[in-house]
């Protein structure tokens, strides 16, 4: 691969005549990245365009204090580049905190591709993205996320070795969703045990618990399976009516509309779709004493954590509850063990119990306690 300087600080990388136009994302924002509320001292934020494949993507590296940054690649039809940039900033910082709290020797990074994964994704686009990842020289390691799958990682690997979450036959750990879902299940167990004053037990029955589950993607579906096995009652909501109907058939769930899930009476609300679902409107409508789910960036803003606290709703910070995926990836290698990854994921519940106790003792929100814990570990790193 050849690299050359371009006007305006851009870098043009070529391979087989296919150009990548890579620039500092600050060039897209009036006043620079520091003017954005979600900047939070990122180490590196880049934007890449590849005209031939239609690629438009961002990579955000928030921190490499604990090791090379590792985070998934999300593909989504964002309305604008600024919306995509804001998402990558929030997601990459959350990855730094997630790795730190989960005791993973990795830094925080994330990538987003602008486009509809159902219609815009192609092998050419994925390979171009792989070359974009490769241009960072290992500072960022990519993996799957919303809109990308293990099969896509196989194609991206053709252009870069800096990739995780590969299929098992390729020496990876496969789909991380089952371990993510198990970690969220442990988070629910921890929250339920805390509110009832019982010891944390990830194998406790939940026969008298009702969970309102939003989103039946890979993680949401696996979580529904764990909850059903624990005999919890399920209320489900998904934009795909067929998935909701299947959950009713297989898990005995009750289905509600996507706008109704915030109004149902339940013991736990488990958001497992996209982020930002907890805002002033939805939080005011909630009729659940616990929130524990697999979605990233569940809070629309920091004020929501305080609003939940005032309403007496116990919130399991999202990046703590959904750390099972990156825990699974951290065990990749010739000695990969799913059982070891699952046992590590069970520690999510113990971490949350600690967070819950500190929050009560010091009058802090659980989100603030988790952030402080993460920053202390990043500082130690």
Q: Are 69 and 61 in contact (CB under 8 A)?
A: yes
Q: What's the rounded Cα separation, in Å, for the pair 126 and 378? A: 32
DSSP one-letter string for 265-286: B-SEEEE-SSS--B-HHHHHH-
Q: Are 255 and 278 in contact (CB under 8 A)?
A: no
Name which of 145, 172, 200 is nearest 346 in CA terms: 200
User: Could you tell me the two tokens for 88?
Assistant: 């990558």
Q: What's the rounded Cα separation, in Å, for the pair 66 and 214? A: 33
Name which of 250, 247, 249 is nearest 236 in CA terms: 247
Bridge pairing between strands 2-5 and 44-50: unpaired
The residue count of the chain comes to 381
| Chain centroid, CA 82 distance in Å | 20
User: Could you tell me the two tokens for 362?
Assistant: 């010091």
Q: What's the rounded Cα separation, in Å, for the pair 53 and 158? A: 16
User: Could you tell me the two tokens for 296?
Assistant: 């990233």
Under the phi-then-psi rule, with left for phi > 0, alpha for psi from -120 to 50, and beta for the rest, what region is 283? alpha
121 classed as catalytic: no
Under the phi-then-psi rule, with left for phi > 0, alpha for psi from -120 to 50, and beta for the rest, what region is 288? beta
Q: Are 28 and 35 in contact (CB under 8 A)?
A: no
DSSP one-letter string for 276-338: --B-HHHHHH-B-SEE--S-SS-BSSTHHHHHHHHTT-EE--HHHHTTHHHHHHHT-STT--H
Residue 107: CB partners within 8 Å, gap ≥ 6? 61, 62, 63, 64, 65, 66, 67, 68, 69, 70, 95, 96, 99
| Active-site hit among 98, 110, 121, 243 | 110
User: Could you tell me the two tokens for 77?
Assistant: 């039809």
Residue positions annotated with a catalytic role: 110
């Amino acid at each position: 691969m050849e690299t050359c300087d371009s006007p305006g600080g851009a870098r043009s990388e070529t391979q087989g005549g296919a150009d990548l136009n890579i620039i500092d994302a600050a060039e897209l924002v009036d006043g620079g990245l520091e003017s954005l509320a979600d900047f939070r001292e990122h180490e590196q934020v880049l934007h890449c365009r590849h005209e031939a494949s239609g690629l438009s993507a961002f990579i955000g590296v928030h921190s490499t204090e604990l090791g090379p940054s590792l985070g998934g690649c999300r593909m989504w039809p964002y309305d604008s580049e600024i919306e995509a940039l804001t998402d990558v900033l929030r997601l990459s910082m959350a990855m730094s905190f997630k790795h730190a709290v989960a005791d993973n020797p990795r830094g925080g990074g994330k990538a987003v591709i602008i486009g509809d994964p159902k219609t815009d994704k192609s092998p050419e686009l994925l390979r171009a993205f792989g070359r974009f990842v490769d241009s960072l020289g290992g500072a960022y390691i990519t993996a799957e996320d919303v809109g990308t799958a293990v099969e896509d990682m196989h194609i991206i690997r053709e252009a870069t070795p800096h990739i995780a979450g590969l299929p098992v036959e390729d020496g990876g750990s496969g789909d991380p969703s089952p371990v993510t879902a198990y970690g969220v299940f442990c988070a629910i167990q921890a929250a339920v045990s805390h509110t009832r004053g019982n010891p944390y037990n990830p194998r406790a029955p939940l026969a008298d618990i009702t969970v309102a589950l939003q989103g039946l993607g890979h993680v949401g579906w696996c979580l529904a399976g764990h909850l059903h096995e624990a005999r919890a009652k399920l209320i489900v909501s998904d934009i795909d009516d067929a998935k909701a109907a299947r959950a009713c058939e297989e898990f005995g769930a009750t289905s509600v509309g996507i706008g109704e899930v915030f109004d149902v009476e339940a013991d736990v609300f488990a958001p497992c779709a996209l982020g930002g679902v907890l805002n002033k409107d939805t939080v005011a409508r909630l009729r659940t004493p616990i929130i524990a789910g697999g979605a990233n960036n569940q809070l629309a803003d920091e004020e929501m954590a305080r609003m939940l606290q005032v309403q007496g709703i116990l919130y399991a910070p999202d990046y703590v509850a959904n750390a099972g995926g990156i825990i699974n990836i951290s065990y990749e290698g010739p000695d990969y063990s799913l059982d070891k990854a699952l046992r590590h994921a069970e520690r999510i519940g113990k971490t949350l119990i600690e967070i819950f106790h500190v929050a009560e003792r010091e009058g802090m929100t659980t989100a603030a306690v988790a952030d402080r814990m993460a920053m202390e570990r990043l500082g130690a790193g």
